[in-house]
Chain A
Amino acid sequence: MLPLIRSEFRKLSTVRSPWLLLAAGPLLVVAGVTGLVQSGGNVHDPATAGKALAHVTLAALFTLIFGIFAVAGEYRHGTVTDTFLSTPARGRVVAAKLAVYGSAGAVAGLVSAAAAVAVTAAWWSAKGGSFQLSAADSWRVLAGGVAVNIAFAAIGVGVGALLRNLAVAIAAALAWIALVEGIAGQLVGTGLARWLPFSASEALGRANMTGTAGFLPQWGGGLVLAGYAIAFAATAMVTTLRHDVT
């Protein structure tokens, strides 16, 4: 397994595009927090700090797309043939990708979290508020955000392995988040809709311990999202094993 993990790390470290994608996360965080403050966010209201730090979860959209590249990108460039020639035990390839991309997702989440803390502290002090990182809520929101990044990286790997078409997978993931969950929410009501993956990620990334309106509590969101990540990963392994690479 170790040789496979080394190979997957080298695949990532020898091209530039995945890193550009991940770098967009912290940039989005900085832009988001700035926008929040500039549009009238009240730095003296403790809840605003939570909203600022929750941008780490928003940045996880880039981590999701990053994860999609893991398998779908190999189909796009035709390198999947070499990958399966090297390792005919395809399940191990998917497992190695989950490990490597999940780790990269964690790093991306941590960098976004650091950016969130830095830009929030900067704006708060500029606007005369006091930003307390030591507040328990801050840590919870940041930890939740990092967890969402890890889960989205894994889910991305699974979605890319299932659909095997990079453009379709990215479009499907974004359409799901932008449209499907919203529409499903209208149809079945928020009671059920909050169990859907993106809603669960919102819960994990920003909700409090008992759950805000329409969202699960944070720990519930975490469990549900972990369940989705495992389900996508397992399905991806099974379909990858049987697929004819033509």
Chain B
Amino acid sequence: MAEVEVRDLAKNFGRVAAVRGMSFTARAGKVTGFLGPNGSGKTTTLRIVLGLVRADAGTALIGGVPYGRLARPRHTVGAMLEATGFHPGRRARDHLRVIADAAGIPGRRVDEVLAQVDLTSAARRRVRGFSLGMHQRLGLATALLGDPRVLLLDEPANGLDPAGIAWLRGLLRSLADEGRTVIVASHVLSEVAQTADHVVIVSAGQVRFAGPLDEIGSTNNALESAFLKLTAAAG
């Protein structure tokens, strides 16, 4: 069990205050929807949690430990970020094997996650031939590779067809039911309304709401109205 805890996080890029004092906790066994307009500091916050960006103030801890001090990062956190890229000339299976090598993960696990995301038949193809949906599924496979206790996914349903979206919803649900901490950043509020237990709504670098989805109401309209109202009033 590992919670993700963000306390008083702040980050400026030059004169742009991307994150202005953000605090929330994502609990184990729950799917936490992480919502916010473009420029709200959502992506920066995720990157700080993952040790990719250094915060100016505050803490971001995973199971009480910052990312850089995790003994086995890939076994603790599985991340799927929008900006993650693939070398176009590399085969899908080799992309995963590169990461597996660095993390000490055996080769058969690579084949397991490829099967889980239904990329087995494309495993030996070079990534340059992949569709958007295939890119996304490879990114998801990368996140699942270490069988991590925490999943941090940024727009995971992007490019998936309806069957894929339904499958992903089931996957996130079952991962959370296994006791893992699942954080999903998404603009697709209708999906979040169906999947999330808790939501954290941010705008202009600050948290506007953090709590159970039930408090907002889990119908599609309720979440959207609350989101638009909370994020419009940002200052």
Interface set of A (CB-CB < 8 Å, partner B): 3-4, 6-7, 10-11, 14-17, 77-79, 81-89, 242, 244-246
Contact = CB atoms under 8 A, between A and B. Distances in A.
Main SS of chain B's interface residues?
mixed
B87 interface: yes
Given A10-B98, A82-B142, A16 B89 contact: yes
B124 to A, nearest CB: 11
A86 B103 contact: yes
A82 B97 CA distance: 12
B7 interface: no
Interface in B82-102: 83-91, 94-95, 97-99, 101-102
A45 to B, nearest CB: 46
Q: 7 smallest A-B Cβ distances: which pairs?
A: A78-B85, A7-B102, A14-B94, A7-B101, A86-B102, A245-B52, A88-B68
A97 to B, nearest CB: 12
Contact of B98 (A11, A17, A89): A11
A83 to B, nearest CB: 8
A82 B84 contact: yes
Interface residues of B, number: 35
Main SS of chain A's interface residues?
helix
8 contacts: A3-B103, A14-B91, A16-B89, A77-B86, A84-B51, A85-B50, A86-B74, A88-B67
Nearest to B88: A77
Contact of B87 (A77, A84, A87): A77
B53 A246 contact: yes
Interface string B21-64: 00000000000000000000000100100111110000000000
Contacts of B129: none
B223 to A, nearest CB: 29
Q: Name, among A4, A11, A82, A87, the residue most crowded by chain B CB atoms within 10 Å (CB to CB).
A: A82
Given A3-B101, A85-B79, A244 B88 contact: no
B89 A85 contact: no
A15 B126 CA distance: 9
Nearest to B93: A14
B87 A15 contact: yes
Contacts of A11: 87, 98
A94 to B, nearest CB: 14
Contact of A78 (B83, B94, B102, B103): B83
Given A3-B101, A14-B91, A78 B54 contact: no
Contacts of B77: 85
A53 to B, nearest CB: 34
Given A10-B101, A14-B91, 16 more contacts: A3-B103, A3-B104, A6-B101, A14-B97, A15-B87, A79-B84, A81-B52, A81-B83, A81-B84, A85-B52, A85-B79, A86-B73, A86-B102, A89-B68, A244-B52, A246-B47
